[in-house]
Structure 1
Amino acid sequence: MTNFGEQVDESPFAARGFLLSAMFLGVIALVGLLVITISFIGGDDEDEEASAPVAPTASPTDEDSPADGESSVCGLTEVELAGGLDEPPGGAEWELVGTIAAPEVEGHGPGRIDDDGYRSCFARTPLGAVLAAANWSAMGSDPELAEMFMEQALAEGPGREAALENAGSSAAQDDDGASIQIAAFRVVSYDGEEAAVQIVYTSSYGLDMVFPFDLRWEDGDWKYVVADDGEPVNPPYPVESLSSFVRWQGA
């Protein structure tokens, strides 16, 4: 009989750093079940995987300019209220934050890196949304920065309160030493007010996992949106092919 507890512990995606990096508190069991499922069905879910097209690129007009009070909290001037991202951004610089490499692109973010390492302020662009999700992931591999994320980067609403409450009662598992890094991304939708971004993480175990991030432009920066119960709006899923994603990694 399969020992489900051992399966979860052995999975690199059940390691403390990765779960915190993705901010999916309380989904240890879900990730474990996904890993077990793909091992049993041999990847049959690949055809069912969402193959959402990247939104077409569009340039903002004067009428699309953001309203007063919605400007970048740190003064970033790049703004796009429609569009997508179908190739790796140029000029990215990567820095190890915790155990995960985090990207930075001039003009798109992070516009602020505090002395304690907390990274914030991302441009109101598709690239800014991708950078926000990627940097949140990296910060989550550092427990102190992950805690700061929970306090500062969750979108307002009942989900934020539930997530903060769950964070205090969730027991994270110890890191098992697996190497986990960003491997690719996909912009599913973007309209300047909200964005849906998917980040693919790869591990030294050879398993790729997609974690969807729902973002909202709020108080001059991108914020992470969770469901009313504090869980992610869309659950993670395993993937065998990165053909529909933009490959992008710094480690």
Structure 2
Amino acid sequence: MALVLGAGLLSVAVRGVGGPSGGLERADLSASAPLVKTAGGAPGRSDDRPDGCRTDDRDATTPRAAPADAIWRGVAGAQVPTSATAGPLLAGGPVWWCFARTPMGAVMAAHVIPLKLGDSGWQAVAERQVAPGRERDFLIAKRARSRESTTARGSASLAGFAVASYSPSRAEVRLLVRSGQGALFTTSVSLKWGEGDWKAVPRPDGTLSAAPAPVEGTQGFVMWRT
């Protein structure tokens, strides 16, 4: 099982498990929709959506299927799903942002933000996409001190997800991970809405995701297309 929890960051070594494979470097983001490279790339200071970020936020239903428009993109040696409808729609430097204010948008943020924290430029991701407070300060300090690589490795894959709870201001997303040997594990990521986008919420110990726990099956999870 190749779950790397350096400095409390979730990094999963991911094969492309469905849809077209992105596998793009950051410099090539502008070459493939839906991500559009922007100069600023930072959410605004109010709860209004920043300039250039527009999403359809009407669908508040719990997802029963993975997005049909999912594209898998390379992040720190792993792959992470993106969606032209749920997000992230925009890229500014290392920050991939502009998620829909919907349950599916929260799901995509729960996949993208933790892995981007394991990539180069993680400081900008932490400052802009992690909820501020003592826990974020702790997370940044731990990440800065850590000499363990948070680059994803191995042959595990993001297998599915479940929305444990959702409101327009808060969400809890469970991630299902399959090891190279076929074992299933689950972890969870908390999010809150602020400054016009979803932000990951660290735990009191400065970790971003719950410790992975084994599960025996896929019941209750939406599976990524294989």
TM-score normalised to structure 2 length: 0.72
Higher strand share: 2
Whole-angstrom CA distance in 2 between matches of 1:231 and 1:176: 17
> Which of 50, 63, 67 pairs up with 1:85?
63
Structure 2 partner of 1:169: 145
Q: Aligned with 2:141: secondary structure?
A: helix
> Which of 99, 106, 125 pairs up with 2:102?
125
Show CA shifts across 1:175-230 (max 9, x none).
79512321100011111100010111222233322120100001011111112331
Q: Aligned with 1:127: secondary structure?
A: helix
> Which of 71, 76, 79 pairs up with 2:48?
71
2:190 corresponds to 1:200 = no
Unaligned runs of 5+ in 1: 1-10, 26-68
- Change in CA separation of 1:221 and 1:237 when aligned onto 2, cut-off 3 Å: same
Whole-angstrom CA distance in 2 between matches of 1:162 and 1:130: 24
2:116 corresponds to 1:139 = yes
Q: Aligned with 1:152: secondary structure?
A: helix
Q: Which residues in structure 2 correspond to 1:1-251 (within 5 Å)?
A: 11-13=1-3, 18-19=4-5, 23-24=9-10, 69-73=46-50, 74-80=52-58, 82-114=60-92, 116-142=93-119, 144-172=120-148, 177-232=153-208, 234-248=210-224
Show CA shifts across 1:7-48 (max 9, x none).
xxxx422xxxx32597259xxxxxxxxxxxxxxxxxxxxxxx
Higher helix share: 1
Whole-angstrom CA distance in 2 between matches of 1:181 and 1:208: 10
Indicate the percent of aligned positions where both proteins have the same amino acid: 28
- Change in CA separation of 1:21 and 1:234 when aligned onto 2, cut-off 3 Å: closer
- Change in CA separation of 1:145 and 1:218 when aligned onto 2, cut-off 3 Å: same
Please tell me the root mean square deviation across aligned C-alpha atoms, in Å.
2.9
Bigger Rg, which one: 1
Say if 1:22 and 1:211, in contact at 8 Å, map to a contact too: no
Whole-angstrom CA distance in 2 between matches of 1:22 and 1:120: 21
Mean CA deviation greater in 199-208 or 80-89: 80-89
Alpha-carbon distance, 1:249 to partner: 5.1
TM-score normalised to structure 1 length: 0.66
Whole-angstrom CA distance in 1 between matches of 2:56 and 2:213: 32
Whole-angstrom CA distance in 1 between matches of 2:150 and 2:48: 40
